[in-house]
Amino acid sequence: MGNPLTPDVLVDPVVLTRALVDVESVSRDEKVLADCVEDVLRKAAHLTVRRVGNTVMARTRLDRGQRVILAGHLDTVPVNGNLPSTVVDDLIYGCGTSDMKGGVALALHLAVTLPDPRYDLTYLFYEAEEIESEHNGLNLVAEAHPKWLKADFAVLLEPTYGAVEAGCQGTVGARVHTRGRRAHTARAWRGVNAIHAAGEVLRRLEDYRPRTVTIDGCTYREGLNAVRIRGGMAGNVVPDECSVEVNLRFAPDRSEKQAHEHLREVFDGYELEITDSAPGALPGLDAAPAREFLAAVGIEPAAKLGWTDVARFAALGIPALNYGPGDPALAHAPDEHVEIGKIRDGVATLYRWLAP
């Protein structure tokens, strides 16, 4: 089978979006699509291409002084009866249209059609974003080839419906344990009820007033929620154990360590077990390429809600933001689709920003 990403296809980001969608690439099964993308990039004389696993990197070497990364993941969630793609009016339907082959199409179109950008550009098409982070291509590159990620600014083409979402919240998962003493419920006074004791934990959660923090014009709303509660073993036993699993989403002005300390303060007096944790990312919109990008888009940035790979760039000291044509609300949905107009707007914006 020939490469469906022909020159005719590459020249139109809308046609290219459909072509990318129609090469199925569920996480851990990205090889065919990565081969097609690598093949296309190697034909572009102005690019240096490298590959690790199913992650492909291509970059210009124009000595522009500043370097910008455009990144997108090649994988999708499992197909849900939504392939091959279809077009209805202004909408392309299909698995990965929104998350995020529409965004990948913008980057790949630019890579082959813009040989002389204003900044040096690094394109990253990476694998396994939708699954456990140990497989994440961006993670693997950061470990194996950190030099590939040297840059002054990064745009992740994740779905934002044309908005600019900068930085992201951090997240901490933890368990708060309460203990008691087991007893038969017919002789309950001999026991201590660990579920009743969790009442105070829920009270603190109910009384918790989350902060709202504005950084570089982006507003981050924090939140602390019980996400699971488990306790008790039988219908006639006073339970001796209960655990409340909580999730803290925190603004990026707190470090991960400070977020842990904050949780310990909130649940002072209780046994607290941190189960997972990831730092937030500051929006970092001061750098020149970032300011010029915002001018090209022409709208105010907003805070990214939820955790994205933007935080991986932030951890490397690279200011990064999300900007893509897809609607994030449609990601992973069986009726996932992307608006053709948003793809055309996106490519026009990137050209406005990056063309010489």
The answer to whether residues 278 and 252 touch, using CB atoms and an 8 Å cutoff, is no
Q: How far is the CB of 264 from its own copies (least distance, A)?
A: 19
Catalytic pick from 38, 99, 127, 129? 129
Q: How far is the CB of 148 from its own copies (least distance, A)?
A: 29
Token digits for 16?
A: 């290219």
* Main-chain phi, psi angles of 232, to 5 degrees: 95, 150
**Residue whose CB is less far from its own copies, 147 or 187:** 187
Burial 12-35 (b: 16+ CB within 10 A, else e): bbbbbbbbbbbbbbbbeebeebbe
Q: How far is the CB of 294 from its own copies (least distance, A)?
A: 23
**Residue whose CB is less far from its own copies, 145 or 190:** 190
**Residue whose CB is less far from its own copies, 121 or 224:** 224
User: How buried is residue 241: exposed, middle or buried, by Cβ count under 10 Å (0-12/13-18/19+)?
Assistant: middle
Is 129 in the active site?
Answer: yes
What residues contact residue 149 under an 8 Å CB cut-off, 6+ apart?
69, 122, 124, 141, 142, 313, 316, 318
Q: How far is the CB of 242 from its own copies (least distance, A)?
A: 7
Q: How far is the CB of 3 from its own copies (least distance, A)?
A: 38
Is beta strand 67-73 parallel, antiparallel or unpaired with respect to 120-126?
parallel
The sign of the torsion formed by the CA atoms of 327, 333, 339, 344 equals: positive
DSSP string, 115-161: SS-SSEEEEEEES--SS-GGG-HHHHHHHH-GGGG--SEEEE----T
Closest of 22, 309, 17, 21 to residue 137, by C-alpha: 309
**Residue whose CB is less far from its own copies, 2 or 235:** 235
Catalytic pick from 75, 99, 120, 165? 75
**Residue whose CB is less far from its own copies, 6 or 236:** 236
**Residue whose CB is less far from its own copies, 17 or 193:** 193
Cα–Cα distance for residue pair 198/178, rounded to 1 Å:
6
Q: How far is the CB of 192 from its own copies (least distance, A)?
A: 11
Q: How far is the CB of 220 from its own copies (least distance, A)?
A: 10
User: Which pairs count as long-range contacts for 348-353, CB under 8 Å and 24+ apart, including other chains?
Assistant: 349/296, 349/297, 350/70, 350/106, 350/110, 350/296, 351/110, 351/114, 352/296, 353/118, 353/292, 353/293, 353/296, 353/297
**Residue whose CB is less far from its own copies, 115 or 306:** 306
The answer to whether residues 59 and 122 touch, using CB atoms and an 8 Å cutoff, is yes
Provide the binding-site residues for its own copies, judged by CB under 8 A: 169, 171, 173, 184-189, 193, 195-196, 198-199, 202-203, 205-206, 210, 221, 223, 225-239, 242, 244-245, 247, 249, 276, 305-307
Is 130 in the active site?
Answer: no
What residues are labeled active site? Answer: 75, 129
